[in-house]
Amino acid sequence: MTQYIIQRLCIIGVGLIGGSLARALKKTGAVAEVIGVSRDVSHLERAKSLGVIDNYETEISKAVKGCDMVVLAVPLGAMQSVFEQIAPVISDDMVITDVGSAKASVVKSAQHAFKSIPANLVPGHPIAGTEKSGVEASFPELYENRRVIITPLETSSPLAISKVRNMWQACGAEVVETSIEHHDEVLAATSHLPHMLAYSLVDTLAKMDAKNEIFDFAAGGFRDFTRIASSDPDMWHDICISNKDALVKMIKIFSDDLQLLANAIECNDSVYLKETFSRAKKARDEFCEDKNINDSPE
């Protein structure tokens, strides 16, 4: 007899992230049944015909009934509404987790919806993705050797934590536990700030008089630097609003350092410039060594 980690899994938002989770758990035999939820029936039909989900519902309150695991894979801006629809039908043996890129805001949304945070809620964030989106792009290997950060609350049940952990490990991911605050600060630094810089740079250049020539003369370095400026604007709007405090703080720290660099350029401060560039190069080169990445600038 198979030992399932999850008997009945409800995935709310069956896109790349939710769909890949379902596929991975099915492939490894970790789940008995997967219920997908979306407002769009044709989308759910597609997910079912692809074998990503076994059944579907369009109403969250119906879908989650009898589920021992509920995963919210919706945009950050939709979390609270989903929690509100789960709240009336929540049960003691239902573990709830999410995949949002900012964690304090998810907990706040849960607080609003549930009044007191359920012991079975364990916020999570898989550090994975591809350039594509939608259920058609989902694949079972997405989480293999990738990190998943979980940020349990003090009130979280050890059993629920362990169940979420086991779910991601079954997908081949490495699960790391941090505090909510720490997650949001680290992600602000490593992901949210770079996205703001890329968006802001491309927008600044696009507004300039010499716009056409600027994009015309741009070479490989520019292309790589600005790749993330092609990200989904709505998703990044939600992330900005959701991780506002940590992100605004990081932009301030970055801006102050950039101002010091500009001052050094203006004053021909060769020592400052060479030291800064060398420190950055060393950190970047070490990052690549650690990750076994072989790339260099043009």
**How many whole angstroms separate alpha carbon 118 and alpha carbon 93?**
11
Per-residue contact string for residues 150-189; x = within reach of a second copy by CB under 8 A: ----------------------------x---x--xxx-x
Using CB under 8 A as the binding rule, whether residue 215 contacts a second copy is answered as: yes
* Shorter beta-carbon distance to a second copy: residue 112 or 274: 274
Using CB under 8 A as the binding rule, whether residue 217 contacts a second copy is answered as: yes
Using CB under 8 A as the binding rule, whether residue 289 contacts a second copy is answered as: no
* Shorter beta-carbon distance to a second copy: residue 90 or 176: 176
What residues have CB less than 8 Å from 119, skipping those under 6 apart?
Answer: 155, 156, 157, 160
Member of 80, 111, 157, 191 binding a second copy (CB under 8 A): 191
| Edge-to-edge strands, sheet with 147-150 | 124-126, 147-150, 174-177
Could you say which residues in the range 225-284 bind a second copy, by CB under 8 A?
A: 225-234, 236-237, 240-241, 244, 247-248, 251-255, 257-259, 261-262, 265-266, 268, 270, 273-274, 276-281, 283-284
What residues have CB less than 8 Å from 83, skipping those under 6 apart?
Answer: 72, 109, 110, 112, 113, 114
Task: Report helix, strand and coil shares of the chain as percent, to nearest 5.
Answer: 55, 10, 35
| CA-wise closest residue to 98 among 159, 48, 160 | 160
- Provide, rounded to whole angstroms, the least separation between the CB of residue 157 and a second copy: 26
Member of 119, 127, 141, 172 binding a second copy (CB under 8 A): 127
Residue type at position 210: A
- Provide, rounded to whole angstroms, the least separation between the CB of residue 133 and a second copy: 9
Residue 261 has which token pair?
């660099």
